[in-house]
Each structure stands twice: as structure tokens, then as C-alpha cells.
Chain A
Amino acid sequence: MATTTLHPAAPTYRGARGTLYEWVTTTDHKKIGIMYLINSFLFFFIGGLLALGVRLELAQPGLQFVTDQTYNELFTMHATFMIFLFIIPILAGFGNYVVPLQIGAPDMAFPRINALSLWMLPLAGILLLISFVTGGSAAAGWTSYSPLSQDRPLAATGSGQDLWIVGLVLIGTSSILGSVNFLVTIFKMRAPGMTLFRMPIMVWTVLVTMVLVLMATPVITSALIMLFIDRNYGGSFFDPANGGDAILYQNVFWFYSHPAVYVMILPAMGMISEILPVFSRKPLFGFKAFIFATAAIGALGFSVWAHHMFTTGAVYLPFFSLMTFLIAVPTGVKMFNWTFTLWRGQLMLKTPLLFALGFLTMFLIGGINGAFSASVPVDFAIHDTYWVVAHIHYVLFGGSVFGVMAGFYYWFPKMTGRMLNETLGRIQFVLMFIGFNLTFFPMHELGLSGMPRRIADYASNAAWNDLNVAATIGGFTIALSMLPFLWNIFVSLRSGPVAGDDPWEGNTLEWATSSPPPPYNFDHLPEIRSERPLFDQRHGQAAGH
């Protein structure tokens, strides 16, 4: 058996930086993963700026800064960029970087398709950005309900809505290609000894996520194409004025968009499941239960879509309400398992763990306020109000974004060979945590007292003024927290402490190679006899299972 010896001058991140040409033409999953992260963070900042525009306008009653039409564009594109160009791709990007390493593979199954999936994203992003200057972007909400999104003056007069549709079809195609890539990689390229039940939870969550992506994304692609035909070729799928059905659009749209929210959270849950055991110095509590809970969430996730449509009068309410309550069960299993992982652990309160704790507490709130909405009579009151805005941001920001930050601080050393600064990380965490809660917690009360979503302005005598001011201050605090974040990356890349192979004493295979890994990933692999091959190697053979 030939062994490859790593050259003593094996490149650190700086050396492996390569030329621009190498980065643009690479098929290496590690470089592609990093570029996914860069592109996604770019759109996180753009989406964040749009949110600041929304919060600026809503801080006080009266239309101070933007017109109604522009306001509608702001929140439409804020959500569009955040969902389709930030959260979904960044989790795919982490998956891209981490999954082949964690299963002991040298790369993804289809490296060139991997590159194609990546490059479709900035292209789609450019199309969406162009729409701002070609007559206005889409302005019918990211949900783009028909007939508002049809070709009529009420929502958008220019080509913005059409560019939006094309951009999303491109992004969806990128996702579908990626899902096939991941599924083949995970099923066919695991190292010897890595049975499915020994795969890290991160890989399991990516697996289930990619099943959801593969099954659901074509559905929204079809809705988008049908909408495009309605708008441009005289179609009448969704426009009642031409014999179409407005509710049909919602059903097709939400059949994808509900599983999409699990696409947006499951890999983040996987990251948390990697971080908590390492930083508690304890095995993950209920490893197998995690696997089954993840699969259950994935399956149940296809049965709840119409809970977004309770008020349409066109939904069989008891079924969808029941299934929505049911999904809380596997989610609750995960919450308990994470908590018991921490319980009596030797906690290393480094930045990854701080963000993981932020995830647990904030996602808990988001899960609970979502459970309220599962009850039909409650939903009749709070649907389309700021309660829902609170819910979505507690799960997407409190959940996914905190998870992304945790994962970023955790794997940055592996990707770059440098440690991020702990002090700056803590400053970022504190600012982000405070800013986030200040922004979104008041929205529970705003929703309960009747403030609808998607309004550019509100009555000055509705008693909503103070809560809106608080939310705006919180929003700018979140923006402020980005400064220590960016500064941290900048200084750490230049002169952060060298990380070494395994700075956190991790359990999984990515820590069994250099930081950053060589192009072929592993010089040699440790024996794989459990879900913690590196722990086993460090402490002697553990009982295999």
C-alpha cells in the first residue's frame, strides 16, 4: 500500500492561496466551500442593509425616507437575498467544506458540477441587484403571491419581478445540482469503517437537507416558471382574472417553501451538534436519537405547508394544524439532547460555544412562538402580523445565523490555519445577541396588538411607536456587531495564532489533517470504529458501534 508523505513545506493558507485564476477555475471542494461563504456573507451584508432601510423607515410614524413602492422593494429583496443568497447557500458552503473531510473523502463526487453550482449564485445575485436600477426590483414580497405578482401596476411596473423569477430559477438549479452531488458523495465516498450510523451529525443533517432540496426545489421552480408564463406569455395558471387560481400558487409555493425552512436550519443544527460535544468535553447525548429526529423533521416537513395558508379559507385546517404540532416533537428531542450534552460537561467558553448557547436559547424561543401559530384560532389572530416576523427571525437569525457564526468560529482555523481572536469574538457575540433580541423581541407584542406585516408606515396613535424605535436601535446594534466580526477576520488572516491540525481537540475526521488540509485532504486516515474516530485515536480504542 503506497503512503503519501506530506512535504515538510506543506502550504498553510497563505501558501495555498493560489492565484485568482486558480480560485476561479478550481474544483476543490475546500476552495469552493470558502467561496460559497464569501458570496453568502456578501449577500448577508446587502440583505442587512436593506433591513436597515426597513427599520429606518419604521422607526417613527410618517413616511420619512422612502415611497410605498420602494419600501415594498426593500423588504421583498431583504428576504430574497437572505433566504436564497445567504442562508441556504452558506449552509451548503459549510457542507461543501466539511462533509468530504468528515467522511474521509478526497473531494465531492462531482467536482466540476460543484463549481457550476457555486458560480450560478453570484450570477443570480447580479441579476437581482440589476433589477434595482432597471425600473425597480420585485416588490410583491419574497412570497410573490399571485395576482399581486402578475403583470399589473399594483406591485411592480418594470422587469424586476421577471428578473426575480429568473434569478430564483438559477439559484434553484444550483441547489438541485448540489443536492445530487452531496447525496452521491455521502452514500458512495465514505472512508472504510464509516458506516452510516458512524457519520457525524453534521453529515446526517446535510444528507436529510439534500433530500429535501432534491424533492422540493423542483416544485418551486415549476411555480416560478408558471408565474413567468402568466406574466409574459399570456398564461393563466395563477391569475383569476384569466381563469387561473390564486390559491394554487400558494399551495405550489409553500410545498417547497416549508421544507425550505428545514433546509435553512438542519445543517445549522448539525454544526451545533458538532460544537457542543467538543466544547463540553462530552459525547453528544442521544446520538442515534439525533439521526432519527433529523429524519423525522425532514419527513414531517413535507406535511405542514398549508399552515402558511390557514386564513385563505381553502385549507383542511385540522390536518395541517396537527402535523405542525407534531413536528415540535423531534425538534424537542434535539433540544433535550443538546441540553443533556452540556449538562455536567467541562465547558470551554470559547466563541463557538457562546454562539451555540445563543442558538439554543434563541431557537427555543422561535420554536415556542411557532407552536403558538400552529393553533388555528391563534393563527387567525396573529397571521400576517409582526408576531410572525418575530417567529421567523428567532428561528432564522437566532437559529441559523447564530449557528453559522458558531460554525464559522469553529472551522475558520481548519480553513485558514489561523485562530480567530477570542476577545473580538466575544464582543461580536454580545453585541449581536443584545441587538438581535432588542430588534425582534418587541415584535411579539407588536403582532399581538395588531401591527400587520409589510406596511411602510403605521398610525401614530396605535401605541406602536416605542416598540418600533426599540427594534430599530436593535437593528443598528446588529449592524454594529459586524464590525468586530470583519475586523477579526482581517487581523486573524494576517497575524492570528497558527492553529495546527486540531486546535479544539475535536472528535471528527477533519481534525486529522493539516490546517488547511492539502488538496487531497488526508495523508492517512485513523481507524474508524465509532462516530468519534479522533477521540478514539487520542484515547485508545473505544467500544465500536
Chain B
Amino acid sequence: MVHSRGNEGAAAINALLVGVVHGEDGGLAVPAGRTVQLYLESPDVIHAFYVPQFLFKRDVVPGRINMFEFTVNESDAGQTFRGQCAELCGSGHRLMLFDVHAMTPADFDAWLAANIEAANATPPPSAPPGSGEPPPSDGGGQGPTLELSALNIAFEQTTFEVPADTPFKIAFENKDAGTPHNVEIKDAGGASLFKGEIFSGVDTRTYDVPALRAGSYPFVCTVHPNMTGTITAN
């Protein structure tokens, strides 16, 4: 049984789940050959869960929980099915992409068990498990505190400079009422180096970011990948 929530942004279908049932890279992992129940909830606007190869879509409507069942054929284990939001949801609509990874039942059970163990073992950090960063401590980072804010689905500041090899903080103010944002820092190749906790506005959180080597790093909102900026570490 899989509990999945729809939310804005590509990897954000990943983001609100209870840690256990995420796919590796922002997708939905399901066991082939078994019936999966998908519960669809939205915290903001109407979306639609659509996988073209399933020939199926179902709306994700705030204020109601839609549920449907599906079974991926056992013979399709190992395949990844591309999914995309199919109900206009704002300026990030075209970017709301996801994958459904069908695993063999054995692989899925092993993966599920490993994730449950990992979720139980580590205390809830501000980044998902496995990122390898130390838990935040008061008076952490010797580096600067970057002042960043988001308004109207855009970062208000888009370029920052930080000293290289120094942990630093981001004081992030989400000015969009009722809208989830975060800050995710990626390397030039697109791998995620830091993913701050997603929270809804109007609110402020401070992220502790681990040291970055010298170079240029794009940062993005995981929920709305059209919100972008650049951090340069000197």
C-alpha cells in the first residue's frame, strides 16, 4: 500500500511522503505484480496524476482524497514509466514531472525495509537521510548568513557569493502564503548537494548548508523548479 501526495514540482511528489516510500530520484517506487493503492492529496491547487503508458489519470483535488488502484504487470518489473501533471497548476505546470519505478516484489520489499530502517535510525534532519551531512547545531557554520526570500513563485535574490570550503547558513523567508518552497543546491551536473526542508509561507526557516568547494552552484526550489538562482563559492 503506497501513500502518495501530489504537490507542485518535479521531485515534490517525493517531498511530502513520510520518508519511506520515495523512489531514489524523485519517483514513485511500486512493486510489479501487486495491487497498489494510491491516495492523492493536494495542499494547494488541483493537479492530475497522469502516466501516459498507464492510459490513466486522476485529479488531485485539494479538500478531497482521490484513491485509485493499479497493478503493474510482473513482466514489466524494472521499467520506469514517465508521468506528468495534467491539470494546469500555475507557472510550474510544465515542470511537474515524475517517474513510476516498477520493481520486482523482492527488490521492492528489500528497498522498503532498508528505507524504514534508515528512517528509524537517524533523527529527523533538515535534509533527507543519506545526504551525509552532520545534524545542525546551534551557532553552526562559521560562514555568512545569506538573506533569501521567495515571493510570487520566484526568488527575490538570485545571486550570492560565499567563501569556499566554509559551512554557511541561509535565512530563507517564504513570503507566499500557503505555498510550499525550499532551497535546494545542486552541483554543475545537477546532483543535489543540499536540500532544505520544504515549508509553507508565510514563514522563515534557517538552513545550515555544508561547505561548498570553489565553483558555481545553481540553487532551485524543489517544489517549483522554475525558481532558480546561483551561489558562487570563492
Given contacts A311-B59, A452-B50, contact A153 B151 (CB under 8 A): yes
Once the chains are docked, how many angstroms separate the CA of A377 from the CA of B93? 24
Given contacts A246-B46, A246-B63, A313-B64, contact A145 B178 (CB under 8 A): no
Number of A-B residue pairs having CB atoms within 8 Å of each other in the complex: 117
Asked if A72 is at the interface of the complex by the 8 Å CB criterion, the answer is yes
A: contact size bracket:
35 or more
Is B179 a contact of A68 with CB atoms below 8 Å?
A: no
Is B90 a contact of A154 with CB atoms below 8 Å?
A: yes
Is A312 a contact of B93 with CB atoms below 8 Å?
A: no
Question: Could you say which of B52, B56, B64, B85 contacts A449, with CB atoms under 8 Å apart?
Answer: B52
SS of A interface (majority): loop
Is A68 a contact of B226 with CB atoms below 8 Å?
A: yes
Asked if B131 is at the interface of the complex by the 8 Å CB criterion, the answer is no
Is B62 a contact of A450 with CB atoms below 8 Å?
A: no
Is B91 a contact of A67 with CB atoms below 8 Å?
A: yes
Given contacts A313-B66, A384-B87, contact A457 B45 (CB under 8 A): no
Is B88 a contact of A453 with CB atoms below 8 Å?
A: yes
Least distance between A151 CB and chain B CB atoms (Å): 10
User: Which chain A residues border B89 with CB–CB below 8 Å?
Assistant: 148, 154
Asked if B61 is at the interface of the complex by the 8 Å CB criterion, the answer is yes
User: Which chain A residues border B62 with CB–CB below 8 Å?
Assistant: 147, 240-241, 246
Asked if A383 is at the interface of the complex by the 8 Å CB criterion, the answer is yes
User: Which chain A residues border B44 with CB–CB below 8 Å?
Assistant: 147, 152, 154
Least distance between B225 CB and chain A CB atoms (Å): 11
Asked if B107 is at the interface of the complex by the 8 Å CB criterion, the answer is no
Asked if B86 is at the interface of the complex by the 8 Å CB criterion, the answer is yes
Given contacts A68-B94, A68-B226, A450-B52, contact A313 B88 (CB under 8 A): no
User: Which chain B residues border A241 with CB–CB below 8 Å?
Assistant: 62, 178
Give residues 163-190 of B contacting A (CB, 8 Å): 176-179
Asked if B48 is at the interface of the complex by the 8 Å CB criterion, the answer is yes
Give residues 73-107 of B contacting A (CB, 8 Å): 82, 84-94, 97
Asked if B153 is at the interface of the complex by the 8 Å CB criterion, the answer is yes
Is A147 a contact of B45 with CB atoms below 8 Å?
A: yes
Is B94 a contact of A455 with CB atoms below 8 Å?
A: yes
Asked if B55 is at the interface of the complex by the 8 Å CB criterion, the answer is yes
Asked if A343 is at the interface of the complex by the 8 Å CB criterion, the answer is no
Least distance between B156 CB and chain A CB atoms (Å): 13
Once the chains are docked, how many angstroms separate the CA of A212 from the CA of B209? 61
Asked if A454 is at the interface of the complex by the 8 Å CB criterion, the answer is yes
User: Which chain A residues border B90 with CB–CB below 8 Å?
Assistant: 72, 148, 154-155
Once the chains are docked, how many angstroms separate the CA of A46 from the CA of B61? 34
Question: Could you say which of A148, A245, A458 contacts B94, with CB atoms under 8 Å apart?
Answer: A458
Is A157 a contact of B84 with CB atoms below 8 Å?
A: no
Is B88 a contact of A385 with CB atoms below 8 Å?
A: no
User: Which chain A residues border B57 with CB–CB below 8 Å?
Assistant: 311, 380-381, 383-384
Asked if A491 is at the interface of the complex by the 8 Å CB criterion, the answer is no
User: Which chain A residues border B56 with CB–CB below 8 Å?
Assistant: 380-381
Nearest opposing residue in chain A for B84, CB measure: A452
Once the chains are docked, how many angstroms separate the CA of A154 from the CA of B46? 11
Asked if B3 is at the interface of the complex by the 8 Å CB criterion, the answer is no
Please encode chain A, from 142 to 162, with 1 for each CB lying within 8 Å of some chain B CB and 0 for all others. 000101100011110100000
Once the chains are docked, how many angstroms separate the CA of A385 from the CA of B56? 11
Give residues 437-491 of A contacting B (CB, 8 Å): 449-450, 452-459
Give residues 179-230 of A contacting B (CB, 8 Å): none
Nearest opposing residue in chain A for B177, CB measure: A152
Is A454 a contact of B63 with CB atoms below 8 Å?
A: no
Once the chains are docked, how many angstroms separate the CA of A178 from the CA of B91? 38
Is B86 a contact of A153 with CB atoms below 8 Å?
A: no
Question: Could you say which of B58, B84, B88, B151 contacts A145, with CB atoms under 8 Å apart?
Answer: B88
User: Which chain B residues border A56 with CB–CB below 8 Å?
Assistant: none
Least distance between A449 CB and chain B CB atoms (Å): 7
Is B179 a contact of A313 with CB atoms below 8 Å?
A: no
Once the chains are docked, how many angstroms separate the CA of A305 from the CA of B93? 25
Is A147 a contact of B86 with CB atoms below 8 Å?
A: no
Asked if B152 is at the interface of the complex by the 8 Å CB criterion, the answer is yes
Is A148 a contact of B178 with CB atoms below 8 Å?
A: no
User: Which chain A residues border B179 with CB–CB below 8 Å?
Assistant: 152-154
Is A312 a contact of B59 with CB atoms below 8 Å?
A: yes
User: Which chain A residues border B151 with CB–CB below 8 Å?
Assistant: 153
Once the chains are docked, how many angstroms separate the CA of A244 from the CA of B62? 10
Is B61 a contact of A383 with CB atoms below 8 Å?
A: no
Asked if A140 is at the interface of the complex by the 8 Å CB criterion, the answer is yes
Is B84 a contact of A246 with CB atoms below 8 Å?
A: no
User: Which chain A residues border B58 with CB–CB below 8 Å?
Assistant: 311, 313, 380
Least distance between B64 CB and chain A CB atoms (Å): 7
User: Which chain A residues border B178 with CB–CB below 8 Å?
Assistant: 152, 241
Asked if A314 is at the interface of the complex by the 8 Å CB criterion, the answer is yes
User: Which chain B residues border A157 with CB–CB below 8 Å?
Assistant: 152
Is A313 a contact of B61 with CB atoms below 8 Å?
A: yes
User: Which chain B residues border A459 with CB–CB below 8 Å?
Assistant: 97
Is A455 a contact of B91 with CB atoms below 8 Å?
A: no
Is B64 a contact of A456 with CB atoms below 8 Å?
A: no
Question: Could you say which of B59, B86, B92, B93 contacts A385, with CB atoms under 8 Å apart?
Answer: B86
User: Which chain A residues border B64 with CB–CB below 8 Å?
Assistant: 240, 246-247, 313-314
Question: Could you say which of A141, A153, A454 contacts B176, with CB atoms under 8 Å apart?
Answer: A153
Is B86 a contact of A381 with CB atoms below 8 Å?
A: no
Nearest opposing residue in chain B for A69, CB measure: B91
User: Which chain A residues border B97 with CB–CB below 8 Å?
Assistant: 459
Given contacts A247-B64, A311-B58, A381-B57, contact A455 B176 (CB under 8 A): no
Is B88 a contact of A148 with CB atoms below 8 Å?
A: yes
Least distance between A114 CB and chain B CB atoms (Å): 37
Least distance between B37 CB and chain A CB atoms (Å): 14
Once the chains are docked, how many angstroms separate the CA of A450 from the CA of B51? 8
User: Which chain B residues border A311 with CB–CB below 8 Å?
Assistant: 48, 57-59
Once the chains are docked, how many angstroms separate the CA of A157 from the CA of B175? 13
A–B Cβ pairs within 8 angstroms, 10 of them = A68-B94, A72-B88, A147-B44, A148-B88, A154-B89, A155-B90, A241-B62, A246-B64, A381-B52, A384-B57
- Given known contacts A68-B92, A246-B61, A453-B88, what 16 new A-B pairs fall within 8 Å (CB)? A68-B91, A68-B226, A69-B91, A147-B62, A152-B44, A153-B179, A154-B89, A154-B91, A241-B178, A246-B63, A247-B64, A311-B59, A313-B58, A381-B57, A450-B53, A452-B85
Closest 10 CB pairs of A and B: A450-B52, A240-B63, A154-B90, A68-B91, A455-B94, A381-B55, A313-B66, A384-B86, A240-B62, A153-B152
